[in-house]
Amino acid sequence: MESPLLFLLLLHTVITITAASAQPHSNITLNSSLTTAIAGARNPSWLSPSGDFAFGLLPLPTNSSLFLLAIWFANLPNTTTVVWTPNRDNPLPPNSSVILTSDGRLSLRDPSGTEVWNPGSSAASYAAMLDTGDFVLVASDHSVLWESFSDPTDTILPTQTLSPNSKLVAKLSEDDFSDGKFKLAVQPDGDLVFYLVAVPTGFQYNSYWTSGTNTSNSSLVFDVSGSIHLISPTKALLTTLTSATTKSTSDFYHRGTLDSDGVFRHYVHPKPSAIAGAAAEWVIMDFKPADICTNMITSLGSGVCGFNSYCTYDTNKKVVCQCPVGYTWIDPNRAYMGCKHTFTMPSCISGVQSEGFQMVRVDNINFWGNDYDRLNPMTEADCEQQCLEDCFCATAIYDGQNNCWKKKLPLSNGVKASNVNGTAFMKLGNYDNLPIVNVTKKRIWLLPGFLALGGSVLLNIIVLYLTYMFLRASKRKQRHQLKDSILGPNLKAFTYKELEEATKSFGEELGRGACGTVYKGYLGPELTGTPYLAVKKLRDFQPEIDKEFANEVKSICQTHHKNLVRLLGYCNQDTNRLLVYEYMSNGSLASFLFNGIRPPWEQRVGIILGIARGLRYLHEECSTQIIHCDIKPQNVLLDVNFVPRISDFGLAKLLKKDQTRTNTGIRGTKGYVAPEWFRNAGISAKVDVYSFGVMVLEILFCRRNVEKDMDEEKALLTFWVSDCYNDGRIDALVEGDEEAMADMGRVQRFVMVALWCVQEEPAMRPTMGQVTQMLEGAVAINPVPPV
Ligand SMILES: *[C@@H]1O[C@H](CO)[C@@H](O)[C@H](O)[C@H]1NC(C)=O
Ligand SMILES: *[C@@H]1O[C@H](CO)[C@@H](O)[C@H](O)[C@H]1NC(C)=O
Ligand SMILES: *[C@@H]1O[C@H](CO)[C@@H](O)[C@H](O)[C@H]1NC(C)=O
Ligand SMILES: *[C@@H]1O[C@H](CO)[C@@H](O)[C@H](O)[C@H]1NC(C)=O
Ligand SMILES: *[C@@H]1O[C@H](CO)[C@@H](O)[C@H](O)[C@H]1NC(C)=O
Ligand SMILES: *[C@@H]1O[C@H](CO)[C@@H](O)[C@H](O)[C@H]1NC(C)=O
Ligand SMILES: *[C@@H]1O[C@H](CO)[C@@H](O)[C@H](O)[C@H]1NC(C)=O
Ligand SMILES: *[C@@H]1O[C@H](CO)[C@@H](O)[C@H](O)[C@H]1NC(C)=O
């Protein structure tokens, strides 16, 4: 009993080892099998006689413990290019195998031996991997029972024919082999059609390209001269899909692949034996359709790119999908899922709802379809305003012909290209993730710290007037010239052209402020670790802005702290002033806190501590003290790990350590501004401590300092917290926040620190060093005097 079993096992092992070795196989005999390789070992395969193609089990590029049965180019030194796979939606675990059984069936089996795929033919007498890339099962009379060419995946090879009713289906993404969003169908009515399909159900949406031919039962043929044609049943040439006839199929590998971006491309790659020194990579010779971004308009589905994203091209004409300003990927690794907005859209409960929203203009963009209203005639400005005031409207497209198209979410068929006439006005929350946006001067007039000064209307008016005079007087004093010599040695000086290219001609706006606009840029990973940059373009020709530029560059270039956004470079060319910052992928603290979802407690605690350390560094650890002057959640950005990074030193004032008076204008934003700003008194680092205190309360309780819609007693957070603190009811503040309620000791400590920070008298406020120690629990905190 024992020895036959042992023999069989041994036989199996011997066959497996023989099969797995890299010898070219001519005929694959019955009882042959391949089993997945252990990690790092050579992929088990059956090679074609020339060694050009391999049939075997290949690990996924994204997960080496999942395997595809595949045919691939085996002779390319640096890449594995898969041309066929039957189990792309169902990759298998280790110890899976493919067997040509003793009764002539090809069978793909999981580790338990259960068959998961077979090509549906039996009684083969042998199989062969041919030099064309075709894998065949052959009967004893030499007829072909089945071939991989008859069951294509996303690629067609020379000598292969796609018969009527066959199709190619693109991969989902470059790295994800599962069924994707695009299909090329050879229809029995003779039309060759590209379709958009739903993932994962495969529902067929509209077509985005068709050959327009109508000869029944036509086939798509890849001939050996290097052209892909549609031919009639009588072999008449109907149309040519792609062609690379200058590259012979004897010296070059050819393939036509429906790529994951929906474009069918004809690639060539020099064979190793041919033409030494030729580019050892796949080169695109031809492709269809010519302009997929503008060709694709579907009534259902998202279009080429996912919902709320738009289609554009990189410099190599490759399709790229991007999220518009105010939107971010639902899953950055799966762009086809589309983008989500990073702010709360108006709820429409109260009808007109423009408060708290702004419109951002994007040129040469359109989102086709999904209009719910068309206004005509309309000016551009009216179009923008109409959408802002309409709570249903997410984006309005002004088409340059007096039409204003209003659109709801999700946006579909997005395209941005120089030949697109539409201008979009995209609605954004004011607390959207707009990194490095300055406060507009207008907002300063709105009720800055007045509530903190008491309720008298007369007093408010007097303060308002004084503030105005103070601002005017101080603005006139600012005159300075930028000298390049003050710039630090580690900064990169960019040319304007470099930044223009990096931002795709300043195409993607991240935010806009009083002195400039911030754009998303791409410069490649070597500079920052992430490939993105935030490029702040300052407006031209204003000497005051020139001064600002000098200040900003000077003060940031010597700071290095993990809680500060790093300045990477600048451009100071002709009339152009630009600053280049690290790009912070998680947006601003404001959008993180105020988007309606309460972030985890521990994360909020970490953010408070991080900001405190960043500020302590600016105030106490730099060689020259830096006062930020505009600390608020919009100016704290979150990096990929949600570490808080203080940004926007644009108007920060450099102070010698002993200096307490300044003559700059008021910076800062309502609700965060320390009262001494309004007294024309000395401005010290304590203004930041005040703003920090306000912000700590906002982070603790996930609401803005000023909430006009709340009950009067709760409308101003600083007042409400101090009332609750004085009445011993801190628990009322964290109602509903179970994580915080479980950590009341820390809530109490942080509230006390915050209340010390917002003391009216600057001298009463602690320094950031003391604040950090108190927050960390390193020192005891005195009871807070009533505010
Ligand atoms: C493969 O097997 C068939 C049938 O056994 C035989 O006729 C043919 O010559 C073999 N081909 C090669 C290349 O060995
Ligand atoms: C790879 O796939 C296996 C099986 O699905 C899964 O358990 C594992 O987590 C995956 N590994 C990675 C790195 O995704
Ligand atoms: C695969 O099989 C080998 C030998 O049969 C065994 O040692 C190994 O544990 C198996 N691996 C898995 C993941 O089942
Ligand atoms: C395949 O293996 C079975 C037993 O495992 C044996 O009976 C059969 O003869 C083998 N067939 C070939 C063609 O080797
Ligand atoms: C097929 O196409 C030709 C030329 O485009 C046209 O003249 C003819 O009417 C079409 N035939 C049918 C059946 O649609
Ligand atoms: C196309 O092919 C199908 C299947 O082979 C056949 O039934 C049909 O008659 C053909 N149509 C024409 C117009 O030749
Ligand atoms: C391919 O790999 C070889 C050896 O690693 C290298 O010399 C060559 O530059 C690579 N070619 C390409 C196109 O990356
Ligand atoms: C854009 O407008 C120009 C001039 O009005 C027109 O010629 C062109 O066709 C339009 N482009 C598109 C894509 O509609």
What span, in angstroms and rounded, lies between the C-alpha atoms of 756 and 748?
12
Q: Is the pLDDT of residue 14 over 50?
A: no
Hey, which of 36, 64, 95, 97 would you mutate to test ligand 3's pocket, going by the most ligand atoms within 8 Å of its Cβ?
95
Phi then psi for residue 302, to 5 deg, are: -95, -15
**Strand pairing partners for 220?**
162, 230
Shortest-distance Cα residue to atom 1 of ligand 3: 95
Nearest alpha carbon to residue 164 among 187, 145, 182, 181: 187
Q: Which of 190-199, 660-669, 754-763 has the highest mean pLDDT?
A: 190-199
Q: Which helix (H) or strand (E) holds 552?
A: helix 543-557
- Judge: domain 484-582, CATH 3.40.50.2300: no
Burial class (CB in 10 A: 0-12, 13-18, 19+), 642: middle
Task: Give the chain's length.
Answer: 787
Contact 693, 632 (CB under 8 A): no
Hey, which of 25, 26, 100 would you mutate to test ligand 1's pocket, going by the most ligand atoms within 8 Å of its Cβ?
26
Domain boundaries, the chain: 1-151, 152-271+278-286, 310-438, 484-582, 593-776
User: Of 244-248, 333-337, 401-405, 546-550, which gets the smallest average pLDDT?
Assistant: 546-550
- Judge: domain 152-271+278-286, CATH 1.20.120.10: no
Distance (angstroms) between ligand 5 centre and the Cα of 228 equals 22
Contact 555, 652 (CB under 8 A): yes
What span, in angstroms and rounded, lies between the C-alpha atoms of 587 and 512?
14
Can you give the C-alpha Rg of the chain in angstroms? 33
* Residues contacting residue 421 through CB under 8 Å, at least 6 positions apart: 364, 366, 399, 400
Q: What are the tokens at 783?
A: 């009871």
Residue range 1-151, CATH number = 2.90.10.10
Pocket of ligand 8 (CB under 6 A): 419-421
Contact 665, 633 (CB under 8 A): no
What span, in angstroms and rounded, lies between the C-alpha atoms of 207 and 194?
5
Catalytic residue among 52, 390, 546, 630: 630
Mean pLDDT of 43-59: 93
Burial class (CB in 10 A: 0-12, 13-18, 19+), 748: middle
Mean pLDDT of 569-587: 81
Q: Is 179 assigned a catalytic role?
A: no
* Ligand index nearest the alpha carbon of residue 214: 5
Would the CA dihedral through 178, 181, 182, 183 be positive or negative? positive
Distance (angstroms) between ligand 7 centre and the Cα of 281 equals 9
Shortest-distance Cα residue to atom 1 of ligand 7: 78
Burial class (CB in 10 A: 0-12, 13-18, 19+), 597: exposed
pLDDT digits (tens, 9 = 90+) for 609-638: 999 999 998 888 877 777 887 888 988 999
Q: Is the pLDDT of residue 293 over 50?
A: yes
DSSP structure class, residue 619: I
Contact 164, 187 (CB under 8 A): yes
Ligand 3 within 6 A of 215 CB? no
Q: Is the pLDDT of residue 289 over 60?
A: yes
Helix/strand/coil for 332: coil
pLDDT digits (tens, 9 = 90+) for 668-687: 555 777 777 766 666 788 98
User: Of 334-343, 572-581, 671-680, which gets the smallest average pLDDT?
Assistant: 671-680
- Arithmetic mean of pLDDT over the chain: 80
Domains 152-271+278-286 and 310-438 are alike in CATH topology: no
Residue range 593-776, CATH number = 1.10.510.10
When pLDDT is cut at 50, 70 and 90, the band that residue 383 belongs to is: very high
3 state SS for 402-418:
CCEEEECCCCCCEEECC
Nearest alpha carbon to residue 230 among 287, 269, 191: 191
Strands 310-313, 414-416: parallel, antiparallel or unpaired by DSSP?
A: parallel
Class of domain 310-438: alpha beta
What span, in angstroms and rounded, lies between the C-alpha atoms of 263 and 321?
14
Phi then psi for residue 99, to 5 deg, are: -130, 135
pLDDT digits (tens, 9 = 90+) for 121-169: 889 999 999 999 999 999 999 999 999 999 999 999 999 999 999 999 9
Nearest alpha carbon to residue 117 among 148, 145, 154: 148
Which atom of ligand 4 lies nearest, measured to the CA of 102? 1
Distance (angstroms) between ligand 6 centre and the Cα of 676 equals 88
What span, in angstroms and rounded, lies between the C-alpha atoms of 118 and 135?
13
Ligand 6 within 6 A of 217 CB? yes
Shortest-distance Cα residue to atom 6 of ligand 1: 27
